[in-house]
């Protein structure tokens, strides 16, 4: 729908696989709030639980940015078999970010609900 070239000059149009800007970081922190995860596990949970498939490169870039901002921490998990994996966990600051993000999502959800209720295509 959005990738047909019709809206290529509008910066507000994003990849349809990545919902509203900022939501992905909230999803990541939500996923790791109970237990540390590696990026591949997060990606799979996003597909299974949230039913969207963001590009892996975006996830890993966002993980690096979130770690630089102090929202998450990572450590290397080195196992006897298989490659070493970077495990991510939430920080206290990340927990506060999640709380604020959920409040933002609630407000946005209300607005989206009203928009969908009142939308009728004009053809």
pLDDT given for residue 22 in this prediction = 82
User: What are the residue ranges in the chain where pLDDT is below 70?
Assistant: 1-21
For the chain, which residues make up each domain, given as ranges? 15-117
CA separation, residue 18 to residues 21, 25, 82, 116 (Å): 8, 11, 30, 19
Task: Report how far residue 109's alpha carbon sits from residue 98's, in angstroms, rounded to the nearest whole number.
Answer: 16
Token digits of residue 30 = 């939500």
> Looking at the domain that runs over 15-117, which CATH code has it been given?
1.10.10.10
pLDDT given for residue 121 in this prediction = 86
Mode of pairing for the β-strands spanning 72-77 and 37-38: unpaired
pTM of the model: 0.77
pLDDT given for residue 108 in this prediction = 87
In the block, residue with structure tokens 């991510």 = 88
pLDDT given for residue 96 in this prediction = 95
pLDDT given for residue 16 in this prediction = 52
């Amino acid at each position: 729908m959005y990738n047909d070239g019709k809206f290529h000059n509008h910066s507000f149009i994003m990849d349809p696989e990545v919902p509203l800007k900022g939501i992905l970081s909230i999803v990541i922190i939500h996923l790791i709030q109970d237990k540390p995860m590696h990026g591949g596990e997060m990606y799979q949970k996003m597909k299974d639980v949230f039913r969207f498939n963001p590009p892996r490169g975006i996830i890993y870039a966002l993980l690096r940015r979130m770690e630089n901002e102090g929202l998450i921490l990572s450590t290397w998990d080195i196992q006897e078999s298989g490659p070493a994996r970077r495990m991510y966990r939430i920080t206290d600051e990340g927990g506060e970010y999640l709380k604020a993000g959920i409040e933002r999502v609630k407000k946005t959800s209300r607005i989206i609900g009203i928009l969908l209720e009142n939308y009728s295509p004009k053809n």
